[in-house]
Every structure is written in structure tokens, then in C-alpha cells.
Amino acid sequence: MPDLSRYLVDRTLIMLSNREPYEHRFVEGTGGERAVEVRQPPGGLVSALDPTMQATHGVWVAWGSGSADKSTADAQGRLRVPQTNAYTLRRVFLDTTEVDGFYLGFANSSLWPLCHLLVQHFSYRDEFWERYQSVNAKFARAVADEIQLADKTPIVWIQDYHFGLAAAMIREIVEPQLLHQFWHIPFPPADILRLLPVDVDEALLRGLLGNDLIEFHTERYALNFLGCVAEFIPEAEIDAETFTIRFEGRDIEIGVYPISIDVDRYERMASTPVNTALAERLRSRYAKNDCRLGVGVDRVDYTKGIPERLRALRLLWEQHPEMRERFTFLLVATPSRSEISAYRSLEEEMVRGVLEINARFRTRTWTPIVLVHENVSAELLAGVYRAADLCLVSSLQDGMNLVAKEFLACQIEERGVLVLSRFTGAAEEIDGAVLINPFNIDGFVEGIRRAVNMGDGERRVRMHRMRTQLRSRTIFDWLAAILSRTEAIIAERSQETGAA
């Protein structure tokens, strides 16, 4: 991993995210006694940012969600991170009412569906919004505390849509040298954002404008944000050519930084003896006698297009009998947000759909869809990706979709085809995928057929091109681009101040 600490010399990086980098949980010991276990939650963001925080000895502010989190921190929720003690973790604790209103409510029942343009799932309650405001204020106060305690010049980096109000709230208490935020999901156009009640949409935008730099995955999301500010914040001055906003005497920069993955890590995981053996077992079971093995890996979320994918697979085997016993699909579906009724309904629909397809098309020696409905580690997934002949990503809307990039990284034999929804951020970056529209079932079916029937030569050319692109755009390149830009903004402002 490259050394990114050079961008933070003499500065303290204060990170704010909903997910914490380390979680403590109570577990039952072998003798029945209660023990404490340390767990690092899965996800590329944590694995990329944790080494940077360790190198720069910063502070990570996050929700303390583990059952033993409170007992392992001090009275203010602080502790040195486990194993290395290299930086401080500041936990903020939420009660059930706060989690229900802030996280399950406004963040994931209001903002999430709006940003993904799936308004049929949009749900708003005044209590959601009230909790979102109060919890953002709670985290903002924790960040402000850490700014005031920092022994070096503080830089604050806020992650994602959970904290749309935090930047302005922090600025009201204390001003760090720089405040910036990465919005990890799509940003909607003004006509969608206005589905929020009057004043709520404006308050959200004003909260985000508390930042000095706001980062998005694609230019489309950035332009949507600029359009929303132009629509709802009349006193803001928009420059769409330079992607800047003049607001309350400050210049706010809008940046485009497509996120990626730790490519070397996924290649190493795919290449282990364990995963070499796993890939061979999967292929001998599901990809023998000219049969192709497809894979889909998703959280059970209505943005991922799982029902649309199942309908396309059903139509494929219905209209093209020659595809039966020639193509097997392995669906890895991780349970997600089951407290929300829309997610429970989706889970039931998915299981029912798989059972119906298998009942209709199964033969004595072939099962069309193999469903793995549980959490699967990244290490194990690497072997699954390596084994596959194609990967189906059918998102109805997706900020980036890192499954596509994980699949490419693990395709060390370069045999696979990526079938990718055009409504992912990844589709704007990756050159070589078979693009599909999940709303067009006939086109979706044809995309799968094309991938299954694609010759080995074309497969290797496409996959080699995509993997070459991926190696030049890793998560560390993403991180370096953002940190170098924040360093440049600070330098430019310092020059302006000196000149004045």
C-alpha cells in the first residue's frame, strides 16, 4: 500500500462515518463465560482508510454499534484502536429510538430510495427527520470535541449520506482547516429531491454546503447536486464549468472521484491455495461439459435488481431451451436491513422466485440457480469470483458497485465476462463489459446469452482490458487524489490569505 501520510503532514485527520473500523462484541467463551471479541467490519472503505489513519495517528468518529463497545471505551467513548494503538476511535452511542429514526428511518427509508430514484420505496415521517437532525448534531459535537483536542491542525472528512447536516453543524461550533465529505451513493436530480417536504430538502443542501469540498463518484451525480443547489438555495452562486459554489462568503468545490478497491488484496485472495482449490471444485461441479457458471453477489436490497435478474433468467431458460444444463447461476445474497419491511418483502420474493425457477427447470443432474443466502467473507468470495465464467450486476441504480471491480480483480485466468447494468457508476468507468438495461427484460436476456456464448478469445481480450484499467485506478489512487486535492485547497487558500 502506498504511503498516503505525506498528504497529512502536521495535520490531524478526523474521520466521521456511520460504520466504525473496529467493533467489540460479547461472545460466549468455551467454558460458558462471557468474552469480548474484536471484529473489523467488512468493506473496502474501512480496509483502505484504516492503514491511512494508522500512519497519520488521526481520530475516527463513528457509531459504537457493538454489544461490548461501551464497556471497552472510556466515559467519552474514546479508546486507542485494538492491536496497534495507532489512532483514536471515538464512539458515539445511539439508543434504539435514535437508530430507528436516524438510520432505519430518514437515512434508509427516505434518503436511500430517493437517491436511487426508486420513489415507490420512499417513506417520510416527521419523527425520522427530527431524529436525523438530533443524531447529526450529536456526531457534530463529538467531531467538534476532537477538533478542539487535536494537537495538530485538524482536517475533517465526513463519509456518506448518514451525515448530510454534520458539516454545517460542525462549522457552527468550531472551524477546522478543511471540511470535506464523500457522498457514496447517487445524488438525485431536483425533481426527485423535492419529494422531501418543503424546507427539508433545503436544510439538507445547506448542511452539505458546510463543506469546503464535496466528492461524488461521477460527473452526473455532481451535476445533479449543482442543479439541486441552484433550484433550492437561491443565494448560492453556481459555476457549472468549474464545479464551484460561492455560498456565505466561502468557495465550495465539487469533485468527481470514482471509488475503487484494493486490487492487489483481491488478487492475492483469489490466488491462495484454498481459493485455487475452491475454484476447481466449483468449476468441476457447475462448469463441466461446456456448462458456464454465472455468479451474482449482492446485499438483499431493492436497488440491486434481484427480481429483475430472476425474471431475466426465467425467460432465458424458457425461450432458449438450449441454455438449460448449459448455464448455472450462483446467487450469493447477503441479508440486509431486515428491520425494514420492503427488505423483508424482497427477501421473500427472492427465495420464492428461486424455488419456482428451480422447480420448473431442474433436471436430474442440473439445478439452474444455487442460492447462498448468508454472509460470505471477502476471502471466500474471491474464490467464487475466480471460478465464474460471467458475473451479473443488474442494479437499478448504484453509486458505483464494487462487486463489478472485485470480480475483475479475482479473474486471474481472465476467462470471465462482466454483464453490467448501465445504471451503475462502474458502467461509466469500465470499458469491456456487456452493458444491459435491467428494465428491458428482452435486452437483459440477450446480454446473458451473448456472455454465455462469447468465445474464449474475445473473453480474454475484454477481461485483460478491464483488468488493466482497474490496476490503474485502485482505492489508493482514489484516496491519494482526494487527499492531494485537499492539500492543494489548503495551500491555495494560504496563498490567498498571504496575498491579502
Percent of the chain whose pLDDT exceeds 70: 99
Please give the pLDDT value at position 161: 97
* CATH number for the domain whose boundaries are 5-259+476-499: 3.40.50.2000
**pLDDT confidence bin for 113, thresholds 50/70/90:** very high
Please give the pLDDT value at position 32: 73
* CATH number for the domain whose boundaries are 263-473: 3.40.50.2000
- Separation between Cα atoms, residue 47 and residue 29, nearest integer Å: 28
Percent of the chain whose pLDDT exceeds 90: 85
Using one digit for the tens of pLDDT, what is the confidence trace for 348-383?
999 999 999 999 999 999 999 999 999 899 999 999
- Separation between Cα atoms, residue 205 and residue 196, nearest integer Å: 12
- Separation between Cα atoms, residue 497 and residue 243, nearest integer Å: 22
Which residues have CB under 8 Å from 32's CB, separation 6+? none
Can you tell me the mean pLDDT for 291-297?
97
Please give the pLDDT value at position 499: 55
Please give the pLDDT value at position 30: 72
**Domain ranges, ordered by start, for the chain:** 5-259+476-499, 263-473
Residues composing the chain = 500
Please give the pLDDT value at position 40: 84
Please give the pLDDT value at position 300: 93
**pLDDT confidence bin for 252, thresholds 50/70/90:** very high
Element (H or E) spanning 275, and its range?
helix 273-286
> pLDDT at residue 31 above 90?
no
**pLDDT confidence bin for 136, thresholds 50/70/90:** very high
Give the closest residue to 172 by CA, choosing from 143, 129, 201: 143
Please give the pLDDT value at position 305: 96
Q: What are phi and psi of 305, to 5 degrees?
A: 70, 35
Please, what sign has the CA dihedral across residues 495, 246, 200, 225? negative
Using one digit for the tens of pLDDT, what is the confidence trace for 308-317?
999 999 999 9
For 220, how many CA atoms within 13 A lie in the half-sphere containing its CB?
Answer: 16
**pLDDT confidence bin for 43, thresholds 50/70/90:** low
Same fold, 5-259+476-499 and 263-473: yes
Please give the pLDDT value at position 482: 95
Element (H or E) spanning 170, and its range?
helix 166-173
What's the whole-model pTM score?
0.95
Please give the pLDDT value at position 48: 73
Using one digit for the tens of pLDDT, what is the confidence trace for 200-210?
999 999 999 99
Q: Is residue 313 a contact partner of residue 448, using CB atoms and an 8 Å limit?
A: yes
SS3 377: coil
Rg, C-alpha atoms of the chain: 23
> pLDDT at residue 160 above 70?
yes
Residue entry with cell 446485499: 299
**pLDDT confidence bin for 498, thresholds 50/70/90:** low
